[in-house]
Chain A
Amino acid sequence: MKNSLKHLSTIIMAGGKGERLFPLTRDKAKPVITFGAIYRILDFTLTNCLNSGIRRIYVLSQYGSFSLDQHLRQAWDVMHPDLGEYIYSMPPQQIMVNRWYRGTADSIYQNLTILDQERPQQVLILSGDHVYKMNYLEMMEFHLQQDADLTVAAVMVPRVEGSSFGILKVNQASEVENFLEKPKDPPGLPDNPDYSLVSMGVYIFKAKILVEEVIKDAKKKTSKHDFGGDIIPHMVGRKKVFAYNFQDPVSRTPRYWRDIGLLDAYFKAHQDLLGASPVFELYDPDWPVRSRPQLLPPSKYICAGSHVTVEDSLIASGCVIEGAVQRSVLSPGVKVGAGANVSEAILWDGVEIGAGAQIQQAIIEEGVKVPPGFTIGVDPKRDAKRFHLTEKGVVVVPNNAVM
């Protein structure tokens, strides 16, 4: 283990209800929603930890904790606690206080005993619903160099788009001067005024400062006990808070980071996986992404009279395709019948598209059987009556849909 990680504890926040991702979060925790055919959203953060050399991880769970536990057991049972490495899932214990987690900061407060036992010098706080590839060691080195009380990872967005995010106003030395929630006129960076810094919800705290701050926050009646909304803004100007710009060190362009907070963001992030040079590359030998291994036969393409085409798509193993698939992401065991056309769709495990069916701009949950000749994503008015439609018109078909 790298020396700078020796005194680090890592906590991943994975307890949120993910209401804005409804109906996908109807029966499971947001971090374990299928992403990129064979992954779960949480896999990207856990992979970042592993690829950064981090081996001691707590995953704070609450809503839908069974689905999360199940995934951790099936995909992430890779640590050996005897060797001092672990991934532990932590739902609210209700030992210290008799309540659920009231917010992200409260989830740390309720688990102070962990920090008391581990006595780390730094605490890395992560979120279980982001898609990105980040070496936390680089951020840690920045944090130690600055001798910061808190380092907030941040990514640049064009200033005109900054109004819908939490924006960090920094000085030339990257010290945070102000934290603005959805500002009308977002401040630009001192050396790049056309871009603003958006907080990624990735934090490194000096452990003692974190403890002081969450205790203080727990006693505040007006607080929502949230890192982004309460702890960070309250520390700015009072403590040494720095922003770590998550950018390419050579080209100085922002690195890929997506918050999968909305259904449209979920859909769009899938489009980023496709094409010859995707925006987000899964085929990266330097950054293998881990998930649950599934032993399924190879996918097959059957040309029994009708034409089979697959363009710019990701197809997991165990799929049987007899129709046409374009710009789509297919999880294991998906079947596309003869003459069916699937375009810009995300099909979860075991989805079956009947012969001649037309599917466009849709997210279809695991096990759904679309009858032959059925259309989804073609007639928005009809779809709105039967399914959930996102703001941008993507149709979401839950696994209890009747067709």
Chain B
Amino acid sequence: MEDEGYEVKIATNARDALKIVETEPLDLVILDIRMPGMDGLEALPRILGLKEGLPVILNTAYTQYQESFMSWAADAYVVKSSDLTELKEKVKELVSK
């Protein structure tokens, strides 16, 4: 993402991510689902509760969470791949909205 020219803040778990969302001005969040402690589907509504309208992309290796109603609150659901084209395109699309 930095190669694409974006400034990136990294959190290794959802609680740290929520702190960043609360304190830093952000244009977009890329959120994993399976994480230790709080998972991405629990973190998602909290992120939206802190910053209404902040775009969130769920980025996970698993497809099954697409069925979960909780994942529908994200602006996009991108399955992890070595090819980052889809993710980059989604980021570009949502940031420029």
Contacts and interface: CB of A to CB of B under 8 A. Distances in A.
Interface of A: 96-99, 112-113, 115-116, 211-212, 215, 218-219, 221
A98 B52 contact: no
Nearest to B49: A97
B46 A218 contact: no
Given A221-B52, A221-B53, A96 B46 contact: yes
Contacts, number: 33
Nearest to B44: A96
Contacts of A211: 69, 72
Interface string B67-90: 011101100000000000000000
Nearest to A110: B45
Contacts of A219: 48, 52-53, 73
Contact of B48 (A113, A212, A218): A218
Contacts of A116: 68-70
A113 B52 CA distance: 20
Contacts of B68: 116
Interface in B1-49: 42, 45-46, 48-49
Contact of A96 (B45, B52, B53, B72): B45
Interface of B: 42, 45-46, 48-49, 52-53, 68-70, 72-73
Contacts of B69: 112, 115-116, 211
Task: Enumerate the 6 nearest inter-chain pairs by beta-carbon distance, A residue then B residue, closest first.
Answer: A97-B49, A116-B69, A96-B45, A211-B69, A215-B73, A112-B69
Chain A facing B: main interface SS: helix
Contact of B49 (A98, A115, A221): A98
Contacts of A99: 49
A221 B49 CA distance: 12
Contacts of B46: 96-98
B61 to A, nearest CB: 21
A390 B69 CA distance: 45
A218 B49 CA distance: 9
Nearest to A99: B49
Contacts of B70: 112-113, 116
Most chain B beta carbons < 10 A, residue from A96, A97, A218, A221: A96
Given A116-B70, A219-B48, 5 more contacts: A99-B49, A116-B69, A211-B69, A218-B48, A221-B53
A215 B72 CA distance: 8
Contacts of A212: 72
A218 B42 CA distance: 16
Most central of B46, B69, B70 by chain A CB within 10 Å: B69
A340 B68 CA distance: 64
A211 B45 CA distance: 14
A248 B48 CA distance: 46
Contacts of A96: 42, 45-46, 49
A212 B72 CA distance: 7
B17 to A, nearest CB: 15
Contacts of B45: 96-97, 112
